[in-house]
Amino acid sequence: MATQPLYLAWSNPVRIHWGAGCFQQLAADGPVVVLADRAALSYENETLLLERLGAHCKAWSWFQGGLASVALARSLCDELWPVLKEYPDAVVLAVGGGSTLDLAKVLRYRLADTRTAADCWRSNTVPPDVTRHALWLVPTTAGTGSEVTRWATVWDTEAQAAQKLSWSPVDGYSESAFVDPELSFSCPLRQSRDCALDSLSHALEALWNRNANPIAESFAVEAARLVIEKLPLVHEHPGNHEARTALARASLLAGMAMSQTQTALAHALSYQLTLDEQMPHGEACAVWLPMVWELALGAAPGCDAALARVFAVPAHEGVQYLRGWLDSLGISPRDLRDTSVGRSALAQEMRSARGRNFIASR
Ligand SMILES: [Zn+2]
């Protein structure tokens, strides 16, 4: 069959440094302001980074865990914007999981008037008097893929009804990402599982997506297959570095695919679970994957063909494999189609920003 001509507006400017040891080669030739996750950076790597940056390191702040909230972003900006103001050419360097990297994506847009910062984040608008600092991202989990996308999730827990904000300036990509699988070797098992489930969710969401394209599909299918094969190995033997390296690669590939397609329905449904039940992001996405997979069946031949490649069985059979696979990892899938309340919640999320990307949304 002839292939339809296709225009691909592929765009991702992030310079990617990949591979074991690339973190140790990180070097700066100008001022740097560091945001690092205390739980994710070993003392050995902290010392190493300090030595490599030397006098270029102008400030260092620790992310102590928790949601990347508006309040946390504000206190971080209060602390670091004065230093960034003193060094307008400073690079913001973030080392940590998705929350740390997302906070850095906010921090790097330094506003002249700090009092209006939260208004800008809430309306996702960048005022003309902003100073945009260069951004280098070092993920320590495998992973959120945040290092290669231009979106940051910020939780607005000060609003009357807490909600998820998506901070996404058009030039929001980092300049450089350093994806060193060794940094993820010490990630705790539960967190490793949830982060890999997030990667799988990014991969599948790039397939059942209105913005899907054949190039992103290649990245996404490879990423999904890697997570499905390798996560159970890490679950059984957390010290399996070969499998952990494969998960880091899967995270990067899924992130690249997602950077072109955005996420879709499973992510749209996940946010309320995270707010209501404090469920980790990866798990909160994964519980919806079998239902969303079934909803996607038959929506587009190309999507069915891509899903068939994930478990190497026809797409309508693959969902049973997915259920069994999730069950083996302790994940209980959820389904909204059984009750009228559920069906109306599902219909509502289909109309949300991410839900509209879903290939079977009307
Ligand atoms: Zn995600």
Q: What is the C-alpha R_g of the chain?
A: 20
- For residue 2, the model assigns a pLDDT of 52
Q: How far is the CA of 241 from the centre of ligand 1 (A)?
A: 23
Q: How far is the CA of 181 from the centre of ligand 1 (A)?
A: 19
Q: Would you tell me how many other CB atoms lie within 10 Å of the CB of residue 125?
A: 10
- For residue 1, the model assigns a pLDDT of 47
Q: How far is the CA of 127 from the centre of ligand 1 (A)?
A: 27
Q: How far is the CA of 358 from the centre of ligand 1 (A)?
A: 15
Tokens representing 274?
A: 């995270």
- Strand bridging mode 135-139 / 176-179: parallel
Please calculate the CA angle 162-283-270 and round it to the nearest 5 degrees. Answer: 35
Q: How far is the CA of 50 from the centre of ligand 1 (A)?
A: 31
Q: How far is the CA of 67 from the centre of ligand 1 (A)?
A: 14
The pLDDT tens digits of the residues spanning 274-291 come to: 999 999 999 999 999 999
Q: How far is the CA of 64 from the centre of ligand 1 (A)?
A: 21
60/20 Cα distance (integer angstroms): 24
- With contact defined as beta carbons under 8 Å apart, do 76 and 36 qualify? no
173/149 Cα distance (integer angstroms): 6
Domains located in the chain, CATH noted: 15-182 (3.40.50.1970), 188-357 (1.20.1090.10)
The pLDDT tens digits of the residues spanning 98-112 come to: 999 999 999 999 998
* Greatest extent of the chain over all pairs of C-alpha atoms, in Å: 61
64/165 Cα distance (integer angstroms): 21
Q: How far is the CA of 178 from the centre of ligand 1 (A)?
A: 19
In the block, tokens 């478990």 appear at 311
Q: How far is the CA of 285 from the centre of ligand 1 (A)?
A: 7
Looking at residues 25-48, what average pLDDT do you find? Answer: 96
> What predicted TM-score, i.e. pTM, was given to this entire model?
0.96
Task: From residue 247, give the alpha-carbon distance in Å to each of 26, 37, 313, 332.
Answer: 22, 20, 22, 22
Q: How far is the CA of 207 from the centre of ligand 1 (A)?
A: 14
Residue 3 has pLDDT above 70, yes or no: no
Looking at residues 205-220, what average pLDDT do you find? Answer: 96
Number of H helices, E strands in the chain: 13, 10
Q: How far is the CA of 206 from the centre of ligand 1 (A)?
A: 11
Q: Which of 97, 110, 191 is nearest to 144 (CA)?
A: 97
Q: How far is the CA of 205 from the centre of ligand 1 (A)?
A: 9
